[in-house]
Amino acid sequence: MNSFLSTLVDILSEPAILVALIAIVGLLLQRKKLSDTIKGTTKTFVGFLVISAGAGILGTALEPFGAMFQEAFNVSGVVPNNEAIVGLALTEYGTTTALIMFFGMIVNVLIARITPFKYIFLTGHHTLYMACMLAVIMAVAGFSTPLLIAVGSVALGIIMTLSPAILQPFMRQLTGNDNVALGHFSAVGYAVSGLVGKAVKGKKEVVSTEKINFPQGLGFLRDSTVSIALTMAIIYIIVALFAGPTFIEAQLSDGTNYIVFSLIQAGNFAAGVFIILAGVRLVLAEIVPAFQGISTKLVPNAKPALDVPIVFTYAPNAVLIGFFSSFIGGIVSMVVMAFTGSVIILPGVVPHFFTGAAAGVFGNATGGVRGAILGAFVNGIIISFLPVFLMPVLGDLGFANSTFSDADFGVAGIFFGSLANYFGTIAIVISLVVILLLMAIPYKKKIAKN
């Protein structure tokens, strides 16, 4: 049984395999030629592996930056990191997590089939993380194992549906169509960034980050790869100078000169972004047509909700601006926490990059450069303070030196955890029933029009 569950988790948490399966089902339902089916499925599979490879390179480049930052400015505290906290939790909650994940994905498809919310969440690793958090919270709340799995699965299916739904108006504005949704559990932060962009755009014509007028001699900065590489090189070197050669060469670079090491990491960062963008283009060219088969046959008008890098291609400059703005928001939040005596949440470089970059893209779509800067800055504050309120509802896991990082984890965890703490487990069950009824019955015409 455990071997089966382990295999199931491996399959469902791998976006490349999951989306390739979706692609082959969609192409077969459309009765495509065998050659077209093989080509579409293979390119979708490889495209997601390309995205994963780029994300891996980014993570490798950002990890030493976080260590350098902590050494340079002598700070310590809790570092939000989904992978770290899930790794700790799965040792105790692995079986329930796997079952919640499996049945939660079925609930997601059923909700898309019978309600106006036609979103099928395809980001497998985020589904795993959310299933794990729900398993912990439901266990802490006191549910018996069968009820824990049932309630957790319904909760997961609802979150997988609502997360892309709340962001879809901004996705339509960003992409210019309604073909694809975003499946990444930081939708609350992205939506807030889009709203901030709307609020700050003013009466003047919105200037996009992609249309920044550089002096003629700096025209090469219009190339996003060049601008990202140069900007990151400057940032890495500044932090490296503060951290000092002794620490970097002994702890991080394996003896390589600290300036050379910093330049290589900056170049790796730019390479990772370039690879992600290439993979996104490859996937979108295949998955959207393939998904039409699923939409037509199984879930009419369904939209695939894909991982966050799919939005990076729409505003590469906003990606970098959003990262820095979100990280600065994290630093400001850290200072406020230090002065107020609360738990200090250190700005995790990886979550601030991925969520800050996307927040910058959405802020730019609604408010141009100012929207990208301020929207991502607010996102940085959100993902810094939500973990403070999330940690108490995670039981013993809340005392670990890490926690869940992205906004939707904080919102969902605080919501369900607070219901259990103040009103008992029955309140969670009632809330899920009410949410399902609200999704299925009212606002049908309005949602259909949107």
pLDDT (tens digit per residue) in 214-228: 566 655 555 667 777
> Residue 50 contacts by C-beta under 8 Å, 6 or more apart in sequence?
275, 276, 278, 279, 282
Is the per-residue pLDDT at 294 higher than 80? no
pLDDT exceeds cutoff 80 at 55? no
Whether pTM exceeds 0.85: no
pLDDT of the residue at 333: 94
Q: Is the pLDDT of residue 281 over 80?
A: no
- Residue 399 banded pLDDT, cuts 50, 70, 90: low
How high is the pLDDT of residue 292?
A: 63
Between the alpha carbon of residue 279 and those of residues 12, 29, 37, 307, the distances in Å are 20, 25, 19, 12
Q: What percent of the chain has pLDDT over 90?
A: 36
Query: What pLDDT does 448 receive?
Result: 39
- Do residues 201 and 366 touch, judged by C-beta distance below 8 A? yes
Per-residue pLDDT reduced to its tens digit, 82-110: 877 887 787 788 778 878 888 898 899 89
Measured torsion, CA atoms of residues 341, 342, 348, 353, in degrees rounded to the nearest 10: -100
Predicted pLDDT of residue 123: 84
- Higher-pLDDT residue of 292 and 237 is 237
> Per residue in 140-159, pLDDT tens?
888 988 999 999 999 999 99
* CB of 413 closer than 8 Å to CB of 431: no
Is 1 in a helix, a strand, or coil? coil
The percentage of the chain sitting over the pLDDT mark of 70, rounded to a whole number, equals: 89
